Amino acid sequence: MVLVIRHAAQLVRVSDCGEREKPGRRMRDLAVIEDGAVLIRDGRIDWVGPTSELPAIPAGAEVIDACGKTVLPGLIDSHTHLLFAGTREDEFELRLQGISYQEIAARGEGINATVRRVRAASKAELKDLARRRLDRMLALGITTVEVKSGYGLTLDDEIKCLEAIAELDREHPCDLVPTFMGAHEVPPEYRDHREAYLRLVTDKMIPAVAARGLAEFCDVFCERGVFGLEESEQVLSAAAAHGFKLKVHADEFSPLGGAELAARFRAVSADHLLHITAAGIEALRQAGTVATLLAGTAFFLGLLYAPGRQLIDSGLTVALATDCNPGSSMTVNLPLVASIACTQMRLLPAEALTAITLNAAAALARGDRIGSIEAGKQADLAIFDVPAYKLLFYDFGTNHAWKVIKSGRVVIGA
């Protein structure tokens, strides 16, 4: 099957030299082709260049004229808690009255409120709810999504959630990247037995998930009141021993040293980083760990933002993600999150675009496969009804996606 896109006002390659990520100020170099074209064959990108140099189009090829439009790599959301049941709008109202996220969690609500609903839901119900969110993501131009467990917090419920993610990955056009996060919170039944729950995660859950091949990554919420540095280290050590790639929720509410811990374990990404220190920045830079920033979470919780400008200027590889979840970032709109990163973290539009494409792919250890428009890569692309990529973030809150292509097939706008 051959698909040709031609006459794009801008075809934004993001990279044209085989890079798997773009650190620091290299995030600004997007390799834009005016009046660009791309030829896709059997689900892979075969050729990219100016329309004037487009090779002969084979008979029977599908041709899309993208006049006045911008072609981008399919967007990548590298941090979500997409599989959940129920909503927490009452907590939203409480925060508006001055009650903090941590205070709500201490009352037994917060993450544990969602845990109760996920435990009560069937796998089919969880899949149906997540599928609707994935449909909205795909319609926005998002073609790859990381999805965490962590709302079950029993062995059976974590397995149920990860099985739901695996089934959705097979059934939905979006590619899903599964992450095990049994260390998301201490459930109520273990509140007075933290060490026992930690042993359950390290000695039972991690081996069981690994044996079933249900997750590629393991993540831990390294934070005061959740899992401290030593506890997080135990989780990461057990996960690494069972072959998981690693991620860390780091330095979200306090400068605990989660970034340094992530760097020590050579984690693929350290996420949140609102309170990262200078030592943490240097540790991530030396380790080559991707800094994933979640601007929607800071926006929704009314917090100070992560120092995105400083992280880029320090030479880090920076990604952006939605952190879609019912408590602290109830959105699937990755372009909107990128707009927030521009206005509140001072990212340039080019940097924001790199952060939701190639660098987001790097945060999922997939920079060799997706995230840029280069020959040989999987043909995941999105065509936006704007004549220049900067308008995607400038004209914020609007879905500008016109057509979405997944593995060489038009799945939105056919």
Say which CATH topology domain 2-73+372-412 has.
Answer: Urease, subunit C; domain 1 (2.30.40)
- Closest to 69 in 3D by CA, of 386, 401, 389: 386
**Where in the sequence of the chain do the CATH 3.20.20.140 domains occur?**
76-362
Residue-level pLDDT, tens digit, the chain, 414 residues: 999 999 999 999 999 999 999 999 999 999 999 999 999 999 999 999 999 999 999 999 999 999 999 999 999 999 999 999 999 998 999 889 988 878 887 777 889 899 999 999 999 999 999 999 999 999 999 999 999 999 999 999 999 999 999 999 999 999 999 999 999 999 999 999 999 999 999 999 999 999 999 999 999 999 998 999 999 999 999 999 999 999 999 999 999 999 999 999 999 999 999 999 999 999 999 999 999 999 999 999 999 999 999 999 999 999 999 999 999 999 999 999 999 999 999 999 999 999 999 999 999 999 999 999 999 999 999 999 999 999 999 999 999 999 999 999 999 998
CA distance 91 to 105: 10
Q: Are 393 and 320 within 8 A, CB to CB?
A: no
What does the pLDDT read at residue 237? 98
Q: Please, where are the H alpha helices in 97-152?
A: 101-106, 111-120, 123-139
CA distance 269 to 285: 11
Q: Are 272 and 221 within 8 A, CB to CB?
A: no
SS3 content of the chain, % helix, strand, coil (to 5): 40, 25, 40
How far lies 68's CA from each of 3, 10, 12, 386, 389, in Å?
19, 8, 14, 7, 11
How far lies 46's CA from each of 3, 70, 163, 290, in Å?
10, 19, 34, 29
Residues 6 or more apart whose Cβ sits within 8 Å of residue 302 = 95
Say which CATH topology domain 76-362 has.
Answer: TIM Barrel (3.20.20)
Q: Please, where are the H alpha helices in 140-257?
A: 155-171, 194-199, 206-212, 229-241
CA distance 287 to 292: 14
Q: What token pair was written down for 43?
A: 């689900």
Q: What token pair was written down for 270?
A: 């350290």
Check residue 152 and report its DSSP letter.
-
Check residue 56 and report its DSSP letter.
P
CA distance 340 to 327: 19
Helix axes 123-139, 155-171, angle to 10 degrees: 40
Instruction: Give burial (CB, 10 Å; 0-12/13-18/19+) of 192.
Output: exposed
**Where in the sequence of the chain do the CATH 2.30.40.10 domains occur?**
2-73+372-412
Q: Please, where are the H alpha helices in 213-277?
A: 229-241, 258-264
Q: Are 291 and 311 within 8 A, CB to CB?
A: yes
What does the pLDDT read at residue 346? 98
What does the pLDDT read at residue 251? 98
Q: What token pair was written down for 128?
A: 């149906």
What does the pLDDT read at residue 45? 98
Helix axes 111-120, 155-171, angle to 10 degrees: 80
CA distance 283 to 102: 27
- Closest to 250 in 3D by CA, of 212, 292, 208, 218: 292
CA distance 201 to 242: 13
Q: What token pair was written down for 107?
A: 């009352």
Check residue 95 and report its DSSP letter.
H
Q: Identify residue 221 by its one-letter amino acid code.
A: F
Phi, psi of 109 (to 5 degrees): -100, -140
